[in-house]
Structure 1
């Protein structure tokens, strides 16, 4: 039996499942030798640990920050990266059509909670979110996953918080209008619950696809990004394509402990502060903003999507009123 096959059989019983309890390479070598058949050098074992940790199918993963190894968990159901209203019969969700309904409901609730947390986080940090919902209704085509973001984040030419109405900079607004430049930046955001080596490329390129009309794209994960190979892969793609990647550090258990979505969105300041204190924000890479919108692509979206029309109408009202206001569906 090859060394790699032996390690694939041995390592799952030796590696801790929690990255926080990761085991150092030296100790892992010592424990592995007790079960190995054959005489292999430390260098050979370390090499195999390193190579296997970059393989999504292998049981070993290396921690993002540190020197230890842990057991890579089995891939989560595709639902962990789905839209809350996407039909279970579409795309990669087919394997869940026979799943236990309680499990499906629990996962859906986590998705809704995460979107509520992300919305509030950006609101209190001076960004104005606009949510696409109808694009992911039950009868929507699966191709919408590659056309529409969950959120559009608007950064106006003014500081402050979307919790309050704010006057726009009149001089800069007039100046940019004369130059044909938008007085805001629009970033399209894709939200995902669980990052993994199996799915991160799809997550990333969906984010890139849904943000091509905007000035930037942002991929936001709920769970921590603890796998070194995963973090490196995301950084490399971000360096090439400019998509920002952020983790909110919320495990499944942490999401389960949060209030219901409506309570998160309508929480009092002290409650909001307590919710935000649970986050462990880790910015893997920052988004690169392009100077201009793709007006042709945005016009095409308006013709196809009532929500895109609402987005444009909201931005227009803010400009006409010289005030940045949170979106309110009328």
Structure 2
């Protein structure tokens, strides 16, 4: 039996499932040798650990920050990165075997995470606009490549409150003279968990849905602790500019949180407690463009009442000289 085949059989029982308990290479070599058939050098074993950790089908993963290896878990089943409607679950509904309870549970996770991202951006001075109608039952599957879950608007002026802020009329006038938008518009694609099987699909959907904005973000709930996965996302970011981040919320914590409606309507103290549970990690920073693709935005407006509503809101804020929160519901 080849060394790789032996390691594939041995490693699942030797590796911890928790990345925080990762085994260093030297200790893993010692444990493997106790059961390994054949005489292999430490260099050969380390090489196989490194190569296998980059293979999504192998049981071994290397921690993103720090040293050591842990057991790669299976990805969260379907809807880990979908909208609330089963019809657009990226073709992965079969993974749930038509289990209505599992579907409802997965959808509740998605709603909670979207509510968390919404509140996080409000607290940090950005105005989130949610797209929902684009993902209703019967909508084209291609909408996943055209619309983000959210558009994040950063007016970059004023410090009044998280619900509204004053706009600097002189700055608005200056940007209009320069042909620049008076805000930064970023699209956000939300996913529960990243894995080596689907991160490219996640990334390029985020890229495609950002073409009419000034930049894109791919935001995961669960920490990204697999080094090969983080490196893959950084490589895509380097080539295409979409930002990647994690909120550092594990599945168990997400399940324990209140329902989405409670998160959105939480009192300030409750919101503060929620924010303390977020361990935000910037994997790769986004590259923003100065200009919006107005032709693409206009095309989207003609196709979507939500996009039209977003434009109306932006215009009204500029006319009033105040940015007021508007949820896309």
**How many pairs does the alignment contain?**
329
Partner of 2:276: 277
**TM-score, reference length from structure 2:** 0.97
For residues 224-235 of structure 1, what are the structure 2 equivalents within 5 Å? 224-235=223-234
Contact 2:96 2:102 in 1 (8 A): no
CA distance in structure 2 between the aligned counterparts of 1:130 and 1:250, rounded to whole angstroms = 22
User: 1:13, 1:47 → 2: CA distance?
Assistant: 20
Label 1:161 to 1:112 Cα distance change in 2 as closer, same or farther (>3 A): farther
Deviation of residue 329 (structure 1)?
A: 5.8
Corresponding residue SS for 2:29: helix
Counting only pairs closer than 5 Å after superposition, residues 131-210 of structure 1 correspond to structure 2 as 131-160=130-159, 163-210=162-209
Asked if 2 retains the 8 angstrom alpha-carbon contact of 1:126 and 1:159, the reply is no
Please show how residues 51-90 of structure 1 align to structure 2 within 5 Å.
51-87=51-87
Q: Is the 8 A contact 1:123 1:162 kept in 2?
A: no
Q: Which residue number corresponds to residue 262 of structure 1?
A: 261
What is the DSSP-based 3-state SS (H/G/I as helix, E as strand, rest coil) of the residue aligned with 2:313? helix
Q: Secondary structure at the match of 2:249?
A: coil
Q: How far is the alpha carbon of 1:162 from its aligned partner?
A: 5.6
Q: Name the residue aligned to 1:44.
A: 44
Counterpart residue number, 1:306: 305
Following superposition, the deviation at residue 69 of structure 1 comes to 0.3
Q: CA deviation at 1:91?
A: 4.1
Instruction: Please report the RMSD computed on the Cα atoms of aligned residues, expressed in angstroms.
Output: 1.4
Shift of 1:100: 2.1
Contact 2:175 2:181 in 1 (8 A): yes
SS in 2 for 1:314: helix
Q: Is the 8 A contact 2:159 2:166 kept in 1?
A: no
Local SS of the residue matching 1:79: coil
- Secondary structure at the residue paired with 2:219? strand
Task: Give the alignment of 1:290-329 within 5 angstroms.
Answer: 290-328=289-327
Q: Which sections of structure 2, spanning at least 5 residues, go unmatched?
A: none
**Cα separation, 2, equivalents of 1:192 and 1:162:** 28
Deviations 1:32-88 (A, max 9, x none): 011111100000000000000000000000000111100001232232111112416
After alignment, is 92-101 or 193-202 more displaced? 92-101
User: Which residue in 1 is equivalent to 2:17?
Assistant: 17
Aligned partners of 2:160 and 2:140: how far apart in 1? 35
Superposed counterparts of 1:119-138, under 5 Å: 119-138=118-137
Please name the residue that 1:248 is paired with. 247
Unaligned runs of 5+ in 1: none
Question: How much has 1:328 moved relative to structure 2?
Answer: 4.9
Q: Which 4+ runs in 1 deviate beyond 6 A?
A: none
8 A contact 1:86–1:136 mirrored in 2: no
CA distance in 2, matches of 1:323, 1:10: 62
